[in-house]
Amino acid sequence: MKKKICHLTSVHPRYDIRVFIKECQSLAQNGFDVSLVVADGLGDEVKEGVKIYDVGAVNSRKERILKARKKVFLKAKELKCDIYQFHDPELMFLGLKLRKNGVKVIYDIHEDLTKQIKIKPWIHKSLRGIISFFFEKVENFVVKKVDAVVVPQPYMYSVYSKKNKNTTLVENFVILQSKNATLENINYANKTCFHAGALSLERGVLNMVRAFSKINDGSDLVLAGNINDVTLNQCKEELGWNQTKYLGIIPYESVLEQYNNSSIGLILYNNVGQYYLSYAIKLFEYMLKGMPVIMPNFGEWVSFNEENNCGINVDPTNTDQVANAIMYLNKNPELKKKLGENGKKAVIEKYNWSIAEKRLMELYKSI
| pLDDT attached to residue 182 | 43
Cα distance between residue 95 and residue 100, in whole Å: 9
| pLDDT attached to residue 57 | 86
Cα distance between residue 103 and residue 80, in whole Å: 9
Q: Are 283 and 295 in contact (CB under 8 A)?
A: yes
61 and 79 in a single domain? The answer is yes
Residues sharing a CB contact under 8 Å with residue 354, sequence separation 6 or more, in sequence order: 176
Q: What is the pTM of this model?
A: 0.88
| pLDDT attached to residue 179 | 47
Which of 194, 210, 188 lies closest to 330, judged by CA? Answer: 188
Q: Integer distance in angstroms from the first to the last C-alpha of the chain?
A: 15
| pLDDT attached to residue 85 | 98
| pLDDT attached to residue 272 | 94
CATH classification of the domain holding 76: 3.40.50.2000
User: From first to last of its 367 residues, what are the pLDDT tens digits of the chain?
Assistant: 789 999 999 989 999 989 999 999 999 999 999 999 999 999 999 999 999 999 998 776 666 667 788 999 999 999 999 999 999 999 999 999 999 989 999 999 999 989 999 988 888 989 899 999 999 999 999 999 999 999 999 999 999 999 999 999 999 999 986 544 444 578 899 999 999 999 999 999 999 999 999 998 889 999 999 999 999 999 999 999 999 999 999 888 888 889 888 999 999 999 999 999 999 999 999 999 999 999 999 999 999 999 999 999 999 999 999 999 999 999 999 999 999 999 999 999 999 999 999 999 999 999 8
What separation in angstroms does the CA of 21 have from each of 86, 172, 238, 273, 360?
Answer: 15, 11, 37, 27, 14
Cα distance between residue 249 and residue 102, in whole Å: 41
242 and 220 in a single domain? The answer is yes
Which of 17, 37, 256, 62 lies closest to 152, judged by CA? Answer: 17
Q: Are 255 and 268 in contact (CB under 8 A)?
A: no
Max alpha carbon distance in the chain (Å)? Answer: 64
Residues sharing a CB contact under 8 Å with residue 261, sequence separation 6 or more, in sequence order: 190, 192, 194, 222
114 and 257 in a single domain? The answer is no
133 and 200 in a single domain? The answer is no
| pLDDT attached to residue 363 | 97
138 and 25 in a single domain? The answer is yes
Which residue segment(s) compose the domain that 169 sits in? 4-173+352-366
Cα distance between residue 4 and residue 36, in whole Å: 11
Cα distance between residue 39 and residue 72, in whole Å: 8
Q: How many CB atoms sit inside 10 A of residue 257's CB?
A: 14
Cα distance between residue 246 and residue 231, in whole Å: 13
356 and 245 in a single domain? The answer is no
Q: Are strands 45-47 and 50-54 parallel, antiparallel or unpaired?
A: antiparallel
263 and 165 in a single domain? The answer is no
| pLDDT attached to residue 177 | 66
337 and 359 in a single domain? The answer is no
138 and 184 in a single domain? The answer is no
38 and 126 in a single domain? The answer is yes
196 and 132 in a single domain? The answer is no
Query: How many separate domains does the chain show?
Result: 2
330 and 232 in a single domain? The answer is yes
Cα distance between residue 107 and residue 361, in whole Å: 15
